[in-house]
């Protein structure tokens, strides 16, 4: 990647959030993290314009689907490529995310952090074609 893509990583697991933020930062991404949907919305409302939003589905207070609906309602980060990173791999969740315009769906349990970064980079490259 010639210029650093801004990625917002949204998860309620602080260990995973810190690990992915570090890994993406070391892989030529400008990574910002948000511990849960509410913090992510506040970052977007304050002017953060990420190129990519990598988010979990299962989070307390507001799940990933509700977060995306709220983003749409408030016209936040409309150009951001949205990618789900979740342990939920049910077909209904994958289908619903596709209906919401998500560019990709990665199941945490079946991907190493390195594979997640490679998959995100590939999805971004394919999305921009």
Residue 81, beta-bridge partner list: 52
> Beta strands 29-35 and 104-107: pairing type?
unpaired
pLDDT of residue 3: 80
CB 7 within 8 A of CB 52: yes
> Beta strands 29-35 and 52-55: pairing type?
unpaired
Helices 64-73, 37-45: crossing angle, 10 deg rounding:
20
Query: Which positions of the chain have pLDDT values less than 70?
Result: 1-2, 128-129
pLDDT of residue 21: 97
Chain centre distance of CA 102: 10
CATH 2.60.40.10 fits 5-127, yes or no: no
Radius of gyration, CA atoms only, the chain: 13
Residue 84, beta-bridge partner list: 55, 105
Domain boundaries along the sequence of the chain: 5-127
CB 23 within 8 A of CB 121: no
Sheet holding 5-11, edge to edge: 29-35, 5-11, 52-55, 81-86, 104-107
């Amino acid at each position: 990647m010639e210029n650093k893509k801004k990625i917002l990583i949204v998860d309620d697991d602080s260990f995973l959030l810190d690990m992915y933020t570090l890994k993406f930062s070391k892989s030529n991404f400008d990574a910002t993290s948000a511990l849960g949907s509410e913090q992510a919305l506040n970052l977007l409302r304050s002017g953060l314009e990420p190129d990519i939003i990598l988010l979990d589905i299962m989070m307390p207070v507001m799940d990933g689907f509700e977060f995306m609906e709220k983003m749409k309602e408030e016209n936040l980060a409309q150009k951001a490529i949205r990618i789900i990173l979740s342990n939920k791999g049910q077909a209904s969740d994958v289908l619903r995310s596709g209906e919401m315009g998500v560019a990709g769906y990665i199941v945490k349990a079946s991907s190493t952090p390195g594979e997640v970064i490679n998959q995100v980079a590939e999805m971004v490259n394919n999305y921009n074609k």
